[in-house]
A and B are shown apart, each in its own frame.
Chain A
Amino acid sequence: MTGGLARTARRVGRFGLLAGFVGFLAFPFYWMLITTFKTTQDLHNTEYNPYLFHDPPTLEHLRTLFEDTIFLQWLWNTAFVGVLVVIITIVLAVPAGYSLARTTGRWGQTLGVGIFLTYLVPPTILFIPLARVIAWLGLQDSLWSLVLVYPSISVPFCTWLLMGFFKAVPRDLEEAAMLDGLSRLAAFVRVVVPVSIAGILTCVIFTFTLVFQEFVYGVTFITASTNYTVSVGVPTFLVRGDVYFWGSMMAACLIASLPIAVIYNLFVDRFVAGFTAGAVK
C-alpha cells in the first residue's frame, strides 16, 4: 500500500530531522567530552581526524583541572552563593507570591505583572550603577556582593511563579484551618506551604541554576580569582594570554553543565508555565 510507504517515509524523515536538531544542540557538549579525554598532542595535530582518538584516552586534563587550578574552589564558591541566594529568594518570594495570589480585585494581578516585568530588566543595564553600590558597601571582590545582587534576578521570576501556584490552592483549605483557630499566618505556614512544596522546589532549582549561569555581575564585581564562581572562572582564568588549556577547559564546562541540566529537565514544564505567564493552562 502506498499509504504505508508514505507513512514510513514520513517517519524516517521525522527521525532524520530530529537527529539533525539533537546533533546541532548537543554537539558542543559531545565535543567537550571528546576533548576532555584527548592528549594535548592529539588535540594539536592538524593532520589527525579530530573525531578519533590517536593516542589512548587520558585523564591528564582532569588531573590538571582539579590539582593545578582552583576549579574546586570555584565550584565551592558557586554552591555557597547558590545556597544563600536560594534562601533569600524563598524568604522573599514565598510570602510575596501568596500575598499577590490572595489580594482580591485587579490589584493583585497588576502588581504581579509589574513585578514580573522587572525580571526583564537585564544585568547589562544595571551593572554599572550596581558596581558603585557594591563599592560603597565595601563588598568589591567579595562573594557577598553576589549574594546581595543575584536575588534581584530570581525574586521577580519566583514571585510570579509562586503566585500562579498559590492561586491553584483552594481558599477553603486555609479557611477551614482558620475555623479551627489558626491565625491566617499560621494557616499559611502550616497548611498552604506544605501543599505547595512542588512550586517552592521549582523556585529552588530555578534560583540555583541561575547562580550557576550568571556571568555579568560576577565578572563586574569580582576580580580576585579565588572568589570567582564557575561560570566566570573558567572563561577568564583558564585562558592565560594566548594559551588555552582546551582539555581542562572543556572538562570544566562539562562538569559544571551536566548535573544542573539533569535536574532542570525534571522541572522544565513548571519553568515554562512561569515563562508563558499562565497563558497556557
Chain B
Amino acid sequence: MIGLKDDETRLLPLMLAPAVSYIALLIGFPFVLSIAYSMTNISVGTTELKFVGLDNFISVVGSQTFWVALKNTCIITLVSQVFVVGLGNVLAGLLMADFTGKWWVRLLILLPWVAPISLGSIGWLWIFDSIYSVINWTARAIGLLGPFDWPIWLGQPDLAMASIIIVNVWRLLPLATVIILAGLSSIPQDIHDAAHVDGAGFWRHHFEITMPLVLPITLIAVLFGIVFTFTDMIVVFVLTRGGPYDTTQVLASWAFFTGIQGGDLAEGAAISLFLFPVLVAVAILFLGVARRTEVT
C-alpha cells in the first residue's frame, strides 16, 4: 500500500480538525452556553450572574403566551407539511414529463425557496395588505366576496394563522418538490415497464409501485420541512410580529422578542430550548432513514 506512512495517519485527521473545531466553537459552545444561560438570571444589563435552576423554565411554562406559541408552532408545522407533501408529490409527478420550457418552469417554481424568505414574506405582506389586498380585490371581482366583506388577513387571528401557513407552504413546496422529483427519477424504468406489462392500472401502479419507492425520500423532504418550519421566526416576524395580541406568536419569534428585543436573555434562551426536543426526534428519524437506504 502506498501512503500508509505516518503521512496517511496524521494528514487526514489534520485536514478535518479545522472544520470540526469551528463547528465545536460556533455551534457546540453556544449550545452549551444556551443551556447555561437558561438557568441563570442573565439579561442585557446584569452585572452579577445568579444560578436560578429551573425558574426560567417554570416561568415560561406558566405564561399563557407559551402555550399559545407552542400550539401555533405545532399547527403551522403540521398543517403546512401536510400540504407541502401532498402538493409536492403532485407537482413532482407533473415535472417528470418532458416539455419545452421546462427550465423556465423549474426556475419559477424554485423562486420561493431561493429568494430570501424575509423578502418573499414582504411580498406577501403587500399581497395581504389590509386595504390594498389583491386577494380581496380578485375575490370580490369574481363574486366570492360580497360588497361589504373585506377580510383583514393579518388582523384577524384565524386568518393571520392561515396566512402564515400559506407562506410556509409557498416557501417549502419547491424544496420538497425537487427532493421528491429526485426520488422519482431514481426509480429504474424497468420497474415501471414491468408493472405495465403485468397489467397494473394507473392507481395500482401509483400506490403499489411508485409510492413505496419514493416514501423514504419523501420522508427526508418532510424532515427538512419540519425543521425549517418549526424553528422559523422570519415569516411571523415579517407578517404579524406575533400579533394581533400574541395570537400568532411561535416559539422562535417569542424567543426573539423576549431575549433580543426585550433583553431577557435567560428567558429567551429557555424558550428557544423548547425547540430542541423536536430537532432530536427529527435527527433520530433522519438517521433511521439514512441507515435504511444505505442497506438497500
Bitwise interface map of B from 116 to 131 toward A, beta carbon under 8 Å scored 1, else 0: 1111111111110001
Whether A103 contacts B94 by the Cβ 8 Å rule is no
Whether B7 contacts A155 by the Cβ 8 Å rule is no
Number of interface residues of A (CB under 8 A): 100
Contact of A235 with B119 at beta-carbon distance under 8 Å, contacts A129-B37, A151-B22 already known? yes
Interface-located stretch among A16-24, A56-64, A65-73, A193-201:
A16-24
Whether A120 contacts B234 by the Cβ 8 Å rule is no
> How far is it, in angstroms, between the C-alpha of A273 and the C-alpha of B179 when the chains are bound?
8
User: Which residues of chain B are near A220, meaning CB under 8 Å?
Assistant: 256, 260
Interface-located stretch among B61-69, B152-160, B191-199, B278-286:
B278-286
> How far is it, in angstroms, between the C-alpha of A17 and the C-alpha of B26 when the chains are bound?
45
Whether B91 contacts A21 by the Cβ 8 Å rule is yes
Whether A232 contacts B175 by the Cβ 8 Å rule is no
> How far is it, in angstroms, between the C-alpha of A275 and the C-alpha of B227 when the chains are bound?
13
Whether A120 contacts B283 by the Cβ 8 Å rule is yes
Bitwise interface map of B from 226 to 247 toward A, beta carbon under 8 Å scored 1, else 0: 0100011110011000000000
> How far is it, in angstroms, between the C-alpha of A128 and the C-alpha of B254 when the chains are bound?
12
Whether B26 contacts A25 by the Cβ 8 Å rule is no
Contact of A99 with B12 at beta-carbon distance under 8 Å, contacts A25-B170, A276-B179 already known? yes
How many pairs, one residue from A and one from B, have CB atoms within 8 Å of each other in the complex?
A: 291
- Distance in angstroms from A271 CB to nearest chain B CB is 8
> How far is it, in angstroms, between the C-alpha of A278 and the C-alpha of B292 when the chains are bound?
12
CB contacts under 8 Å to B, within A105-153, are 111, 113, 115, 117-118, 120-133, 148-149, 151-152
User: Which of B103, B121, B231, B282 contacts A125, CB < 8 Å?
Assistant: B231
Contact of A26 with B23 at beta-carbon distance under 8 Å, contacts A102-B12, A129-B34 already known? no
Contact of A22 with B268 at beta-carbon distance under 8 Å, contacts A120-B279, A235-B238 already known? no
> How far is it, in angstroms, between the C-alpha of A18 and the C-alpha of B141 when the chains are bound?
24
Bitwise interface map of A from 225 to 238 toward B, beta carbon under 8 Å scored 1, else 0: 00000111011000
User: Which residues of chain A are near B283, meaning CB under 8 Å?
Assistant: 117, 120
B11 at the interface (CB under 8 A from A): yes
B75 at the interface (CB under 8 A from A): no
Whether A25 contacts B2 by the Cβ 8 Å rule is no
User: Which residues of chain B are near A92, meaning CB under 8 Å?
Assistant: 18-19, 22
Bitwise interface map of B from 245 to 282 toward A, beta carbon under 8 Å scored 1, else 0: 00000001001100110000100110011011001001
> How far is it, in angstroms, between the C-alpha of A20 and the C-alpha of B256 when the chains are bound?
36
- Distance in angstroms from A223 CB to nearest chain B CB is 10
Q: Of all chain A residues, which has the CB nearest B291?
A: A113
**5 A-B pairs in the complex with CB atoms less than 8 angstroms apart:** A128-B255, A256-B116, A256-B119, A279-B220, A279-B293
Across the A-B interface, the 4 shortest Cβ-Cβ residue pairs: A257-B115, A96-B19, A95-B15, A122-B231
